[in-house]
Amino acid sequence: MSSTKHVAVIGGGILGVSTAVHLLRGGASVTLLTEQGLASEATGRSLSWLNSAGERSTPYHQLRLAGVDRYRTLFAADPTREWLQFGGGLMWNAAGQREVTEARHAYEQSIGYDSKLLAPEEIASVTPGIDASAVPENAIFNPGEGWVSLPDLVNFLMEEFHALGGQLVLNAGKVQVTLDGGRASGVETASGETYSADVVLVACGAATPAVVKPLGVEIPNGSPVSMLVVTKPVEHQVKAVMNTPRAAVRPNPGNTFALDHDWYEDRITEHADGSFSIPDEVVQELADESSKLIAGNPELKPASWKIGYKPIPGDGEPVFGELGQVPGCFVAFTHSGATLGLIAGELLSGEILTGKKHPMLATFRPGRFS
Protein backbone atom coordinates (compact mmCIF):
# COMPACT_ATOMS: atom_id res chain seq x y z
CA MET A 1 0.00 0.00 0.00
CA SER A 2 2.66 2.48 1.07
CA SER A 3 4.56 2.20 -2.21
CA THR A 4 1.54 3.30 -4.23
CA LYS A 5 0.23 6.03 -1.95
CA HIS A 6 -0.31 9.33 -3.71
CA VAL A 7 0.26 12.40 -1.55
CA ALA A 8 -0.54 16.00 -2.43
CA VAL A 9 1.62 18.45 -0.49
CA ILE A 10 0.46 22.07 -0.32
CA GLY A 11 3.27 24.56 0.35
CA GLY A 12 6.70 25.00 -1.21
CA GLY A 13 8.55 26.02 1.96
CA ILE A 14 11.07 23.86 3.78
CA LEU A 15 8.42 21.73 5.54
CA GLY A 16 6.52 20.92 2.35
CA VAL A 17 9.68 20.28 0.32
CA SER A 18 11.37 18.18 3.00
CA THR A 19 8.28 16.04 3.59
CA ALA A 20 7.76 15.63 -0.15
CA VAL A 21 11.32 14.36 -0.63
CA HIS A 22 11.07 11.97 2.34
CA LEU A 23 7.77 10.65 0.92
CA LEU A 24 9.37 10.06 -2.47
CA ARG A 25 12.27 8.24 -0.78
CA GLY A 26 9.66 6.02 0.90
CA GLY A 27 8.09 5.12 -2.44
CA ALA A 28 5.06 7.44 -2.52
CA SER A 29 4.05 9.38 -5.58
CA VAL A 30 3.99 13.08 -4.72
CA THR A 31 2.48 16.23 -6.17
CA LEU A 32 3.82 19.42 -4.53
CA LEU A 33 1.71 22.50 -5.16
CA THR A 34 2.54 26.00 -4.05
CA GLU A 35 0.95 29.41 -4.38
CA GLN A 36 3.83 31.14 -6.19
CA GLY A 37 7.47 29.95 -6.36
CA LEU A 38 9.43 27.74 -3.96
CA ALA A 39 10.68 29.38 -0.74
CA SER A 40 8.49 32.42 -1.46
CA GLU A 41 7.49 32.95 2.18
CA ALA A 42 9.24 32.37 5.57
CA THR A 43 11.70 29.88 4.09
CA GLY A 44 12.99 32.60 1.80
CA ARG A 45 13.64 35.06 4.62
CA SER A 46 14.76 33.04 7.64
CA LEU A 47 17.65 33.53 10.05
CA SER A 48 17.69 29.71 10.20
CA TRP A 49 19.85 29.34 13.28
CA LEU A 50 19.95 25.59 14.04
CA ASN A 51 19.59 25.27 17.78
CA SER A 52 17.74 24.23 20.89
CA ALA A 53 19.15 26.96 23.13
CA GLY A 54 17.34 28.32 26.19
CA GLU A 55 14.40 26.73 27.95
CA ARG A 56 11.37 24.96 26.45
CA SER A 57 9.27 21.81 26.90
CA THR A 58 11.25 18.56 26.98
CA PRO A 59 9.51 17.05 23.90
CA TYR A 60 10.16 20.22 21.90
CA HIS A 61 13.81 20.23 23.02
CA GLN A 62 14.22 16.57 22.05
CA LEU A 63 12.67 17.16 18.64
CA ARG A 64 14.97 20.12 18.01
CA LEU A 65 18.03 18.11 19.03
CA ALA A 66 16.97 15.43 16.52
CA GLY A 67 16.53 18.23 14.00
CA VAL A 68 20.09 19.49 14.53
CA ASP A 69 21.31 15.87 14.37
CA ARG A 70 19.90 15.43 10.84
CA TYR A 71 21.66 18.60 9.72
CA ARG A 72 24.90 17.29 11.20
CA THR A 73 24.54 14.15 9.11
CA LEU A 74 23.97 16.26 5.99
CA PHE A 75 26.93 18.46 6.92
CA ALA A 76 29.21 15.46 7.47
CA ALA A 77 28.43 14.20 3.96
CA ASP A 78 29.98 17.38 2.54
CA PRO A 79 31.39 19.94 5.00
CA THR A 80 32.37 22.27 2.15
CA ARG A 81 28.80 23.35 1.39
CA GLU A 82 28.70 27.10 1.80
CA TRP A 83 25.01 27.01 2.82
CA LEU A 84 25.22 24.68 5.85
CA GLN A 85 27.80 25.33 8.54
CA PHE A 86 28.31 24.50 12.21
CA GLY A 87 30.22 27.44 13.68
CA GLY A 88 28.35 27.53 16.99
CA GLY A 89 26.07 30.18 18.45
CA LEU A 90 26.98 33.18 20.58
CA MET A 91 24.41 35.06 22.63
CA TRP A 92 24.41 37.83 25.16
CA ASN A 93 21.94 40.03 26.96
CA ALA A 94 21.79 43.77 27.62
CA ALA A 95 23.77 45.42 30.43
CA GLY A 96 22.38 44.61 33.88
CA GLN A 97 21.29 41.09 32.82
CA ARG A 98 24.39 39.21 33.97
CA GLU A 99 22.36 36.91 36.21
CA VAL A 100 19.81 36.17 33.47
CA THR A 101 22.64 34.99 31.22
CA GLU A 102 24.14 32.94 34.07
CA ALA A 103 20.76 31.29 34.73
CA ARG A 104 20.36 30.41 31.05
CA HIS A 105 23.81 28.87 31.02
CA ALA A 106 23.09 26.90 34.22
CA TYR A 107 19.86 25.57 32.71
CA GLU A 108 21.56 24.57 29.47
CA GLN A 109 24.28 22.77 31.43
CA SER A 110 21.65 20.97 33.53
CA ILE A 111 20.16 19.35 30.41
CA GLY A 112 23.52 18.54 28.84
CA TYR A 113 23.28 21.25 26.15
CA ASP A 114 26.83 22.31 25.30
CA SER A 115 27.14 25.80 26.79
CA LYS A 116 30.12 27.93 27.76
CA LEU A 117 29.76 31.03 29.89
CA LEU A 118 32.40 33.55 28.88
CA ALA A 119 33.78 36.93 29.88
CA PRO A 120 34.13 39.24 26.83
CA GLU A 121 37.90 38.73 26.68
CA GLU A 122 37.44 34.94 26.43
CA ILE A 123 35.27 35.06 23.28
CA ALA A 124 38.18 35.23 20.83
CA SER A 125 39.48 31.90 22.14
CA VAL A 126 36.28 30.07 21.11
CA THR A 127 35.10 31.83 17.95
CA PRO A 128 36.62 34.38 15.54
CA GLY A 129 35.53 37.67 14.07
CA ILE A 130 33.53 39.13 17.00
CA ASP A 131 33.95 42.62 18.46
CA ALA A 132 34.00 41.64 22.15
CA SER A 133 33.69 45.29 23.21
CA ALA A 134 30.00 45.01 22.17
CA VAL A 135 29.45 42.47 24.97
CA PRO A 136 28.53 44.36 28.16
CA GLU A 137 29.01 41.63 30.78
CA ASN A 138 29.08 37.98 29.79
CA ALA A 139 28.12 35.77 26.87
CA ILE A 140 27.17 32.16 26.17
CA PHE A 141 28.82 30.17 23.41
CA ASN A 142 26.99 27.04 22.25
CA PRO A 143 29.54 25.13 20.15
CA GLY A 144 27.05 22.58 18.76
CA GLU A 145 24.86 25.06 16.90
CA GLY A 146 24.90 25.98 13.24
CA TRP A 147 23.01 27.68 10.44
CA VAL A 148 21.58 26.84 7.04
CA SER A 149 20.55 28.95 4.08
CA LEU A 150 17.07 27.53 3.49
CA PRO A 151 16.68 28.60 -0.16
CA ASP A 152 19.88 26.65 -0.93
CA LEU A 153 18.63 23.66 1.04
CA VAL A 154 15.33 23.76 -0.88
CA ASN A 155 17.23 23.81 -4.19
CA PHE A 156 19.35 20.89 -2.98
CA LEU A 157 16.30 18.84 -1.93
CA MET A 158 14.44 19.69 -5.14
CA GLU A 159 17.17 18.03 -7.22
CA GLU A 160 16.30 14.80 -5.42
CA PHE A 161 12.57 15.57 -5.73
CA HIS A 162 12.85 15.73 -9.52
CA ALA A 163 15.22 12.73 -9.71
CA LEU A 164 12.65 10.65 -7.79
CA GLY A 165 9.83 11.70 -10.13
CA GLY A 166 7.96 14.22 -7.98
CA GLN A 167 5.40 16.44 -9.72
CA LEU A 168 5.76 20.18 -9.02
CA VAL A 169 2.96 22.67 -9.58
CA LEU A 170 4.14 26.28 -9.18
CA ASN A 171 1.89 29.36 -9.22
CA ALA A 172 -1.09 27.26 -8.17
CA GLY A 173 -2.64 30.19 -6.26
CA LYS A 174 -4.45 29.48 -3.02
CA VAL A 175 -4.87 25.70 -3.08
CA GLN A 176 -7.68 24.11 -1.07
CA VAL A 177 -8.17 20.64 0.35
CA THR A 178 -11.05 18.70 -1.24
CA LEU A 179 -13.17 16.23 0.71
CA ASP A 180 -15.10 13.10 -0.10
CA GLY A 181 -17.35 11.79 2.65
CA GLY A 182 -15.45 13.81 5.28
CA ARG A 183 -12.06 12.42 4.22
CA ALA A 184 -9.38 14.36 2.31
CA SER A 185 -9.63 13.33 -1.34
CA GLY A 186 -7.15 15.71 -2.97
CA VAL A 187 -6.64 19.39 -3.70
CA GLU A 188 -8.00 22.12 -5.95
CA THR A 189 -5.90 25.01 -7.28
CA ALA A 190 -7.10 28.60 -7.49
CA SER A 191 -7.90 28.11 -11.20
CA GLY A 192 -10.03 25.04 -10.46
CA GLU A 193 -7.61 22.27 -11.43
CA THR A 194 -8.07 19.24 -9.21
CA TYR A 195 -5.59 16.58 -8.13
CA SER A 196 -6.83 13.51 -6.32
CA ALA A 197 -4.70 12.05 -3.54
CA ASP A 198 -4.85 9.43 -0.80
CA VAL A 199 -3.35 11.91 1.64
CA VAL A 200 -2.98 15.70 1.68
CA LEU A 201 -0.35 17.55 3.71
CA VAL A 202 -1.00 21.22 4.47
CA ALA A 203 2.41 22.85 5.01
CA CYS A 204 1.43 26.44 4.30
CA GLY A 205 3.46 28.23 6.97
CA ALA A 206 1.57 31.12 8.56
CA ALA A 207 -1.36 30.44 6.20
CA THR A 208 -1.89 26.92 7.57
CA PRO A 209 -4.72 27.90 9.97
CA ALA A 210 -6.55 29.69 7.12
CA VAL A 211 -6.20 26.65 4.82
CA VAL A 212 -7.68 24.20 7.36
CA LYS A 213 -10.42 26.56 8.60
CA PRO A 214 -12.88 25.69 5.79
CA LEU A 215 -12.50 22.06 6.93
CA GLY A 216 -13.91 23.06 10.31
CA VAL A 217 -10.51 22.89 12.03
CA GLU A 218 -9.32 25.70 14.30
CA ILE A 219 -5.56 26.12 14.79
CA PRO A 220 -4.68 29.31 16.67
CA ASN A 221 -2.23 31.52 14.78
CA GLY A 222 0.42 33.57 16.63
CA SER A 223 2.50 34.49 13.58
CA PRO A 224 4.11 37.95 13.87
CA VAL A 225 5.37 40.06 10.98
CA SER A 226 9.17 39.95 10.65
CA MET A 227 11.99 41.03 8.35
CA LEU A 228 15.24 39.48 7.20
CA VAL A 229 17.97 41.70 5.73
CA VAL A 230 20.78 40.30 3.57
CA THR A 231 23.86 42.50 3.28
CA LYS A 232 26.22 43.11 0.40
CA PRO A 233 29.44 41.02 0.54
CA VAL A 234 31.98 42.11 3.13
CA GLU A 235 35.31 40.67 4.35
CA HIS A 236 34.85 39.00 7.74
CA GLN A 237 35.88 36.03 9.89
CA VAL A 238 32.55 35.41 11.66
CA LYS A 239 31.57 31.74 12.03
CA ALA A 240 28.98 31.83 14.83
CA VAL A 241 25.35 32.89 14.73
CA MET A 242 25.00 35.88 17.07
CA ASN A 243 21.87 36.61 19.10
CA THR A 244 22.24 39.93 20.87
CA PRO A 245 19.95 42.62 22.32
CA ARG A 246 19.72 44.71 19.12
CA ALA A 247 20.62 42.35 16.27
CA ALA A 248 20.74 38.69 15.31
CA VAL A 249 23.44 38.03 12.75
CA ARG A 250 24.52 34.96 10.85
CA PRO A 251 27.01 34.35 8.09
CA ASN A 252 25.39 33.77 4.71
CA PRO A 253 26.80 32.38 1.44
CA GLY A 254 28.89 34.77 -0.66
CA ASN A 255 30.52 36.55 2.31
CA THR A 256 27.22 38.26 3.07
CA PHE A 257 25.32 38.38 6.37
CA ALA A 258 21.69 37.67 7.20
CA LEU A 259 20.28 40.00 9.89
CA ASP A 260 17.09 40.08 11.87
CA HIS A 261 15.54 41.06 15.20
CA ASP A 262 12.15 41.94 16.62
CA TRP A 263 12.58 45.54 17.93
CA TYR A 264 11.31 47.06 14.65
CA GLU A 265 8.20 44.88 14.21
CA ASP A 266 5.92 47.85 14.98
CA ARG A 267 7.66 49.92 12.25
CA ILE A 268 6.41 47.47 9.58
CA THR A 269 3.25 48.49 7.71
CA GLU A 270 0.97 45.94 6.08
CA HIS A 271 -0.84 47.35 3.04
CA ALA A 272 -4.31 46.52 1.76
CA ASP A 273 -2.85 44.46 -1.12
CA GLY A 274 -1.01 42.23 1.36
CA SER A 275 2.42 43.79 0.75
CA PHE A 276 4.62 45.19 3.55
CA SER A 277 6.93 48.17 3.90
CA ILE A 278 9.39 49.54 6.44
CA PRO A 279 11.25 52.85 6.51
CA ASP A 280 14.72 52.55 4.89
CA GLU A 281 16.33 54.07 7.99
CA VAL A 282 15.11 51.14 10.11
CA VAL A 283 16.82 48.70 7.74
CA GLN A 284 20.03 50.75 7.94
CA GLU A 285 19.77 50.94 11.74
CA LEU A 286 19.66 47.14 11.92
CA ALA A 287 22.73 46.98 9.65
CA ASP A 288 24.53 49.54 11.84
CA GLU A 289 23.66 47.63 15.03
CA SER A 290 24.99 44.47 13.40
CA SER A 291 28.23 46.14 12.34
CA LYS A 292 28.99 46.90 16.01
CA LEU A 293 29.15 43.14 16.72
CA ILE A 294 31.75 42.32 14.07
CA ALA A 295 35.51 42.76 14.53
CA GLY A 296 36.68 45.92 12.76
CA ASN A 297 33.06 47.15 12.57
CA PRO A 298 32.84 46.89 8.75
CA GLU A 299 30.21 49.04 7.10
CA LEU A 300 27.23 46.76 6.37
CA LYS A 301 25.15 47.73 3.36
CA PRO A 302 21.70 46.16 3.04
CA ALA A 303 21.40 44.43 -0.34
CA SER A 304 17.84 43.17 0.09
CA TRP A 305 15.21 42.85 2.76
CA LYS A 306 12.13 40.70 2.84
CA ILE A 307 9.13 41.14 5.11
CA GLY A 308 6.27 38.79 5.92
CA TYR A 309 4.78 36.49 8.50
CA LYS A 310 6.94 34.26 10.65
CA PRO A 311 4.90 31.07 11.20
CA ILE A 312 4.17 30.54 14.92
CA PRO A 313 1.24 28.48 16.24
CA GLY A 314 -0.87 30.23 18.88
CA ASP A 315 0.58 28.26 21.80
CA GLY A 316 4.14 28.42 20.46
CA GLU A 317 4.47 24.64 20.11
CA PRO A 318 4.69 22.77 16.79
CA VAL A 319 1.55 21.36 15.15
CA PHE A 320 2.28 18.09 13.35
CA GLY A 321 0.09 15.22 12.26
CA GLU A 322 -3.28 14.11 10.97
CA LEU A 323 -6.40 16.15 11.65
CA GLY A 324 -8.76 14.16 13.86
CA GLN A 325 -11.79 15.71 12.11
CA VAL A 326 -10.48 15.14 8.57
CA PRO A 327 -8.88 11.73 8.05
CA GLY A 328 -6.22 11.79 5.36
CA CYS A 329 -5.36 15.46 5.93
CA PHE A 330 -2.08 16.17 7.75
CA VAL A 331 -0.63 19.52 8.86
CA ALA A 332 2.88 20.82 9.48
CA PHE A 333 2.94 24.26 11.12
CA THR A 334 5.73 25.36 13.41
CA HIS A 335 8.03 27.99 14.73
CA SER A 336 11.72 27.09 14.20
CA GLY A 337 10.89 25.30 10.99
CA ALA A 338 14.50 25.66 9.90
CA THR A 339 15.79 23.59 12.83
CA LEU A 340 12.92 21.12 12.41
CA GLY A 341 12.86 21.07 8.60
CA LEU A 342 14.61 17.74 8.03
CA ILE A 343 13.34 15.83 11.06
CA ALA A 344 9.73 16.96 10.59
CA GLY A 345 9.77 15.79 6.97
CA GLU A 346 11.23 12.45 8.05
CA LEU A 347 8.74 11.78 10.86
CA LEU A 348 5.65 13.06 9.05
CA SER A 349 6.43 11.07 5.91
CA GLY A 350 6.82 7.98 8.12
CA GLU A 351 3.38 8.58 9.63
CA ILE A 352 1.81 9.16 6.22
CA LEU A 353 3.38 6.08 4.66
CA THR A 354 2.95 3.59 7.50
CA GLY A 355 -0.06 4.94 9.42
CA LYS A 356 1.99 4.57 12.63
CA LYS A 357 2.17 7.61 14.85
CA HIS A 358 5.70 8.61 15.86
CA PRO A 359 6.06 9.04 19.65
CA MET A 360 8.22 12.16 19.28
CA LEU A 361 5.25 14.00 17.74
CA ALA A 362 2.77 12.86 20.42
CA THR A 363 2.48 16.22 22.21
CA PHE A 364 2.28 18.25 19.00
CA ARG A 365 -1.00 16.95 17.58
CA PRO A 366 -3.48 19.42 16.06
CA GLY A 367 -6.23 17.78 18.14
CA ARG A 368 -5.01 19.62 21.26
CA PHE A 369 -6.91 22.72 20.10
CA SER A 370 -10.28 21.02 19.63
Residue ranges that bind ligand FAD, judged by CB under 6 A: 10-16, 33-36, 40-43, 45-49, 150, 172, 174-175, 203-205, 207, 211, 226, 228, 260, 310-311, 334-339
- Closer residue to ligand FAD (CB): 23 or 42: 42
Distance between CA 236 and CA 130 in Å, rounded?
A: 9
Distance between CA 214 and CA 180 in Å, rounded?
A: 14
- Closer residue to ligand FAD (CB): 65 or 137: 65
Amino acid at 112: G
- The phi and psi torsions of 213 (rounded to 5 degrees) equal -60, -45
Q: Is 343 exposed, middle or buried (0-12, 13-18, 19+ CB in 10 A)?
A: buried
- Minimum distance, C-beta of residue 11 to ligand FAD, in the bound complex (Å): 3
- Minimum distance, C-beta of residue 335 to ligand FAD, in the bound complex (Å): 6
- Minimum distance, C-beta of residue 40 to ligand FAD, in the bound complex (Å): 5
- Minimum distance, C-beta of residue 296 to ligand FAD, in the bound complex (Å): 25
- Closer residue to ligand FAD (CB): 36 or 110: 36
- Minimum distance, C-beta of residue 163 to ligand FAD, in the bound complex (Å): 21
- Minimum distance, C-beta of residue 75 to ligand FAD, in the bound complex (Å): 15
Cβ(260)–Cβ(323) under 8 Å? no
Report which of 148, 18, 144, 128 is spatially closest to residue 81, judged by C-alpha positions. Answer: 148
- Closer residue to ligand FAD (CB): 122 or 282: 282
- Closer residue to ligand FAD (CB): 33 or 230: 33
- Closer residue to ligand FAD (CB): 4 or 173: 173
- Closer residue to ligand FAD (CB): 26 or 341: 341
Going through 87-159 in order, the beta strands assigned E by DSSP cover: 89-91, 116-118, 139-142, 146-148
Q: Does an H or E element contain 66, and which?
A: helix 58-77
Cβ(130)–Cβ(242) under 8 Å? yes
CA distances from 9 to 15, 126, 197, 346 (A): 10, 42, 9, 14
- Minimum distance, C-beta of residue 35 to ligand FAD, in the bound complex (Å): 4
Q: Does an H or E element contain 15, and which?
A: helix 14-25
